[in-house]
Structure 1
Amino acid sequence: MSLSNPLPFKQRVEQGLNDPFLRQSLKNAQARFREGKQRAAQILGNLEEWRTRAEAIRHHTIEHLDYYLDQFATNVENNGGTVFFAETEQEAVDYLIRLAKAKQAKTVIKSKSMVSEETHVNKRLEEIGVEAIESDLGEYIIQLAKEMPSHIIAPAIHKNRRQIAQLFAEVAGKELPEDTSALTRFARHQLRDKFLNADIGISGCNFAVAETGSIVLVSNEGNARLTTTLPKTHVVMMGMERIVPTWEDLDAVLSLLPRSATGQKITSYVTALTGPRRENDQDGPEEMHVIIVDNGRSNALGTEYQSILHCIRCGACLNVCPVYRHIGGHAYGGVYTGPVGAVLTPILEGFDEWEELPYASSLCGACTETCPVKIPLHDMLIDLRRDEVDEKRSPGVERFIFRLFGTAMNNPALYRLGLKMAKHLLKPFADDEGFLNKGPGPLKAWTEERDFPAPAKESFREWWQRAGRYGGDPDGR
């Protein structure tokens, strides 16, 4: 989806459904990720015990979030870093812009950071004349395409080699072969000078260890290490929930993150950063600034949705979701896609622009079953739907139908009358096999995708009154 011209939800869904490459790509990726996770879980052993432990760690941390944030911030500052708490997106970006101006920055190199996507950092930096370059290969591709990530761990999963070659050709000023190795070499060549000459490096934060004030990053490309080592100034953008109390706690969640995401035992690079360069260090930034972002996360604290803050951004829920598989990440419209996005985005930003997301689910429960920290995602989706009904956000016709249904269910005479009427009213829409395949009104959208059983010619109640109560069989004999 374009950043400059987002489509309405239904159009985004149609766009995903009508993209055969996207659907096949997601199907293949989900199968590969699921199989990898299953193998990794078997090797790990006692997966449920690990999940229970990780859930307990995340629950304890979020319950005492203020304590651990204070401990973390104190230790970052003791290590020579600077901490800024940003309540809103605006405050986070304003701090970054002030810093960029103070450093007279011309270029910024970025490793993967969902929070920087969430706060639209690239756009805001470009507005003040600072070039922001994504160094993660997938993020670099979608930056050139002016799109948002379509998957938490595979942001360019919706692009094929031909599309990527066309994007790179625009940068190169010449045609490039549709060869994976050649395209990767081109990206590496383009980014090398950017790493060496960037004034500021911006990274995300997979986990922040409160007891030492350390930042932990996981990656498979090594770009995070270059981003956080070569520029003189390193800026960390982290959601306030990314805390773990101790290194021992980190071991538990870090053991589950790559296994749940890609099926790896561990990612290629796990980097721990504790403050800026010290006196005898050979490399590293001269300054470290940690921007701790709320931006709506506190909306979940103390509510039934608090456990959404347990999320470790592994993408496992996307890898099992049938709805995501068919419509893709851009259909969700926000930075966070799949089941976790359908829950998190309305909590962060409210229902006004995101009221459709809780309905982008089959409620099959696969997301909850696979979540490494046991977030009850499908229960939350139901609760969000309830909240929308309570706020009268559902269509007026739908509210009227349910009021009518409630009245009928509470009145036996009306209920019996309704059953008799339904049998006759729906008869013209039934086929020879007794299914409604062209349902009227609200049933139309349902029957476009599936067959709905037509009411039986004789209901159980009618049969019971006629024959059953007298000992008759189902045929009335």
Structure 2
Amino acid sequence: MARDVIRQKINDAFLRKALKNFAAAYPVARAKAFEGVDFEALRSRIAAFKKEGLARLPEMVKEFTASAERSGATVHLCATPEEANRTILEIIRKAGVNFLVKSKAMTSEEIELNHYLGNNGVTCLETDLGEWIIQLAGERPSHMVMPAIHKNREDVAELFSRETGLDCPPDIPHLVRVARETLRDGFLTGQVGLSGANVAMADSGAIGIVTNEGNGRLVTTLPRIHIALVGVDKIVPTLSEALDVITILPKNATGQKITSYVSFIKGPTGEGRELHIVLLDNGRTRLAADPDFSEALACVKCGACANVCPIYEIVGGHVFGHIYVGGIGLVLTPFFHGLDKAEDILKLCIGCRKCNEVCAAKIDIEGLIVDLRDKIRKPAGQKFLFGTLMKNRALFHATLRTAYLAQKPFQSEGGRIRHLPLILNRETANRSLPPIAEKPFRDLIAEQPGTKKQGAASRETVLFYSGCLADFVYPEMCLDTVKSLEALGYEVSFPQKQSCCGIPARYSGEMGVARDLAKINIDVLLEEDADYVVTICPTCTMSLRHDFPKLLSTEPPWREKAERLAAKTFNFSELAARKAGSGIPTHETVNGGKETVTYHDACHLKRGCGVHEEPRRVLRELVGVEIAEMTDCDKCCGFGGSYSIKYPEISQEVLKNKMETIRETGARTVAVDCPGCKLQIEGGLEAAGTGIAVEHSATLLARRLVTP
């Protein structure tokens, strides 16, 4: 993705304000809309019937076609966008007209219908207000549900003035009135109307449409001919499943309990009228049969993945997407428009998994994005970095030790790094970085005498998996972890042969390297029969617990070992929380009062591992502090591992949002459970001169516990 385009969107003051305001208002409205509704149960039902339907998609298409034709509709099954465009043009020409009125249809954007018809002498009029604005601007939608969210009233006034020849002031009621009056002629004179559909029912041949403007009903009833352009993935078995989709759509899309209009159309609307249903395949049948990516077609097109995405909030849909935007847009683009259109945008996902949390069909959007990176071209040198350097533990660690010496000219008096040379300075422009430690944790722990604690035979045993960042940058954090675990009653050992968890390789599309690293670590961590494997990095926890079994799923012996390792892998706070309330001795709190901290939920800890309450129990019951919850405590900090190096401009803007919510709490300490989050947030707060400390929960606990 061209950096000038990214910078342009970052510097677009209105876009940033509009997206930030929506991102803040959406969760509140959504929560209110779902009051009294079991979201998890609802989306689980949708996921189940979508999965079942996709498994027999060709049958569903045949059933819907037969049902629709019995009701008087004409069904056209089109394999490609070109075929769909030709079919629609033929229907219009057969009617002897050259004017089409449209209501909102993302499938028409997918096949670039307006452009095709315009080149063939047919005028298209978008009657959805947002779509009409986009049409006048000559742009594509920047959101699946709110296509003109990036336009302000001045932009719209200028467009309307140019279109109508009138002087339109930037007054919203006036602009709505102008739109209504201008579009009215189209409704009255249009002889062919085109709509999309939110759902299609196989048993009845009916289609369902949800809209907030009356244009949808006018377009589908006033013209003599109605064309419905529908992706075959919209077909569900019956009205029961359709109602589930219609129930979740407005709530998840815009935070409405229900849209203004819900319409069901079965057959032509009257005598002498025609209903043509153009069923679009465009790779959907092939995708439905793909065991790795078929779940992407379960999408109901609510756009919620964009609504909660920290990257979309910064750059908008014209950067974070192609035709379909947001997380699911990144997944669908390779299959609908080709891998070449997806190469850049697939890299823009930071991997926070917020999209997974709100997806109406429980799609593993983030996981699919990561898997698709395996299929795109890799930068020169990446193969060496991951395939040679990171797989060779000795070489990788030797390189990090060399970097310790190379960093010295760029360290400040306090030891932190503020200015790197040349292009690398982009990474540290608005934050400081911690230096690589003189001695990594693996050296420090090897130097300690291997004495057994009293009563060690009866203590539960823990293998400590540190992760690369903590090992070489935060060795003191690792020492604090060992101290805390031992004080909590665990016997801890550190396997020296452990290597990188493979997440950097996997997130960069080097799946072969990630598999090799998984096997190396599985052998090392299962060599000793410990009760637990504990990490202090949620990304490592995710890797050991979830990614290893997935990566090795086609190799049964390795899969079995990966599952054994996964079953005993825990994040530090998970295991520490088990000791809360058990009378662990602690030092007295200073001045007898409780310190107040705020807590940042790491993306992979909360949404990847499902760990949310345990860290708070550790802080309250073991560390003995009060927690001042920040707004959006689980919103990404912008680190994302190598993401902060590849896209520092975006990373720093995400970080600014996080720092703002931290400062609002008034707390002087931020507790985290991720070394990467500590690096990112601490660097930003230190560079801004806030004086706010950032500490891992293991460090805060180590300071309080009395070591036996």
Partner AA of 2:408 in structure 1: K
**Contact 1:110-1:133 at 8 Å conserved across structures:** yes
Q: 2:426 & 2:373 partners in 1: Cα distance?
A: 19
2:50 to 51, 58, 61: 58
> In structure 1, what is the equivalent of residue 399 of structure 2?
418
Q: Provide the C-alpha distance between the structure 2 equivalents of 1:172 and 1:445, rounded to a whole number of angstroms.
A: 46
1:344 aligns with 2:332: yes
TM-score (norm 1): 0.90
Give the 3 Å change call, closer, same or farther, for CA 442–463 of structure 1 in structure 2. Answer: farther
The farther-off stretch of 112-121 and 447-456 is 447-456
State the partner residue of 1:327.
315
In the alignment, the residues of structure 2 paired with residue 351 and residue 454 of structure 1 have an alpha-carbon distance, to the nearest angstrom, of 39
Question: Aligned equivalents of 1:186 and 1:312: distance in 2?
Answer: 32
Per the alignment, do residues 445 and 76 of structure 1 end up closer, same or farther by CA in structure 2, a change over 3 Å counting?
farther
Deviations 1:330-377 (A, max 9, x none): 113521111111111122223223201221111111000111110100
Contact kept, 8 Å, 1:141 with 1:167, in 2: the verdict is yes
| Preserved contact between residue 343 and residue 357 of structure 1 (Cα < 8 Å) | no
Task: After superposition, give the CA deviation of every residue in 1:193-230 in whole Å (9 maximum; x if it has no partner).
Answer: 10010121000010001111001110000111000001
Say whether residues 1:357 and 2:338 are aligned partners.
no
> Distance in 2 between the 1:17 and 1:470 partners?
53
Q: Find the aligned partners of 2:4 and 2:76 in 1 and give their Cα distance.
A: 39
User: Which structure has the greater CA radius of gyration?
Assistant: 2
CA distance in structure 2 between the aligned counterparts of 1:398 and 1:311, rounded to whole angstroms: 33
In structure 2, give the amino acid aligned to 1:65.
L
Relative to structure 1, is the Cα distance of residues 78 and 189 closer, same or farther in structure 2, using a 3 angstrom cutoff?
A: same
Structure 1 residue 459 corresponds to structure 2 residue 447: no
* Cα distance, 1:302 vs structure 2: 2.5
Percent same amino acid among aligned pairs?
38
Give 1:298's aligned residue. 285
Q: Is the 8 A contact 2:311 2:320 kept in 1?
A: no
Q: Which residue of 2 aligns with 1:376?
A: 364
How far did 1:461 drift?
Answer: 3.5
Deviation at 1:449, TM superposition (A): 5.9
Change (3 A) 1:363 1:433: farther
Task: Kindly provide the amino acid, as one letter, of the partner of residue 327 in structure 1.
Answer: V
The answer to whether the aligner puts 1:22 opposite 2:9 as a matched pair is no
Task: Out of 327-336 and 19-28, give the one that drifted further.
Answer: 327-336
SS in 1 for 2:34: helix
> In the alignment, what sits opposite 1:39?
32
| Partner deviation per Cα, 1:103-148 (whole Å, 9 max, x = no partner) | 1212100000000011111111111221100000000001000000
Determine the C-alpha separation between the residues in 1 that align with 2:375 and 2:418. 32
Indicate the SS of the match to 1:352: helix
CA contact (8 A) 2:103 2:196 kept: yes
Number of residue pairs matched by the alignment: 453
C-alpha separation in 1, matches of 2:321 and 2:308: 19
Cα pair 1:219 1:267 within 8 Å, conserved = yes
Query: CA offset at residue 387 of structure 1?
Result: 2.7
Distance 1:312 1:333, change over 3 A: closer
Shift in alpha-carbon separation, 1:461–1:277, aligned structure 2, 3 A:
closer
RMSD: 2.1
Q: Aligned pair 1:76/2:72, yes or no?
A: no
Q: Secondary structure at the match of 1:251?
A: helix
Q: Contact (CA 8 Å) 1:195, 1:230: kept in 2 or not?
A: yes
Deviations 1:310-339 (A, max 9, x none): 000111111110000000011135211111
Partner in structure 2 of residue 312 of structure 1: 300
Of residues 93, 113, 116, the one that matches 2:108 is 116
> Does the Cα contact within 8 Å between 1:299 and 1:348 map onto a contact in 2?
no
Between stretches 238-247 and 400-409, larger displacement belongs to 400-409
8 A Cα contact 1:9 1:333, kept in partner: no
What's the TM-score once normalised by structure 2's chain length?
Answer: 0.61
Q: Is the 8 A contact 1:342 1:360 kept in 2?
A: no
* Residue 392 of structure 2 corresponds to residue 408 of structure 1: yes
- Matched-pair contact (CA < 8 Å) for 1:296–1:349: no
Q: CA deviation at 1:299?
A: 3.9
Contact 2:57/2:288 (CA < 8 Å) preserved in 1? no
Contact 1:237 1:290 (C-alpha < 8 Å) held by counterparts: yes
Matched, 1:397 2:378: no
CA contact (8 A) 2:200 2:208 kept: yes
Does the CA-based 8 Å contact 2:195-2:229 persist in structure 1? yes
For residue 162 of structure 1, the aligned residue among 141, 154, 157 is 154
Runs of 4+ in 1 over 6 A off after TM superposition: none
Kindly provide the amino acid, as one letter, of the partner of residue 13 in structure 2.
P
1:447 is aligned to 428
Alpha-carbon offset, residue 434 of structure 1: 3.6
Q: Distance in 1 between matches of 2:422 and 2:346?
A: 22
1:236 aligns to what SS in structure 2?
A: strand
Written as runs of structure 1 = structure 2, the 5 A alignment for 1:107-146 is: 107-146=99-138
Residues 1:237 and 2:229 are matched in the alignment: yes
Question: SS of the counterpart of 1:132?
Answer: strand
Q: What residue is the counterpart of 1:172 in the other structure? A: 164
Q: CA deviation at 1:441?
A: 8.2
Q: Which amino acid aligns with 2:123?
A: E
Deviation at 1:443, TM superposition (A): 5.4
- Runs (5+) with no aligned partner, structure 2: 452-474, 480-708
Letter in 1 for 2:119: E
Map Cα deviations across residues 24-68 of structure 1 (whole Å, 9 max, x no partner): 101111222221111112232x22111211111211111121111
Question: C-alpha separation between the residues in 1 aligned to 2:288 and 2:57?
Answer: 9
Q: Give the corresponding residue for 1:469.
A: 449
Is the contact made by 1:300 and 1:306 (CA closer than 8 Å) also made in structure 2? yes
Q: 1:396 & 1:310 partners in 2: Cα distance?
A: 35
SS at match of 1:292: strand
Cα distance between partner residues in 2 of 1:227 and 1:431: 66
Higher deviation after alignment, 9-18 or 366-375: 9-18
Residue pair 2:390, 2:396 contacting (<8 A) in 1 also:
no
CA distance in 2, matches of 1:13, 1:209: 41
The equivalent position to 1:198 in structure 2, one of 190, 211, 214, is: 190
| Equivalent residues of 1:222, 1:269 under 8 A apart | yes
- Kindly state the Cα deviation for residue 463 of structure 1 after the two structures are TM-superposed: 3.2
Alpha-carbon distance in structure 2 between the residues aligned to 1:423 and 1:185:
66
Q: Are residue 207 (structure 1) and residue 207 (structure 2) matched?
A: no
Distance in structure 1 (CA, Å) of the matches to 2:319 and 2:430: 19
- Checking the alignment, whether the CA contact within 8 Å between 1:201 and 1:227 is kept in structure 2 is yes
Contact 2:236 2:242 in 1 (8 A): yes
For structure 1, the 5+ residue unaligned runs are 1-7, 280-284
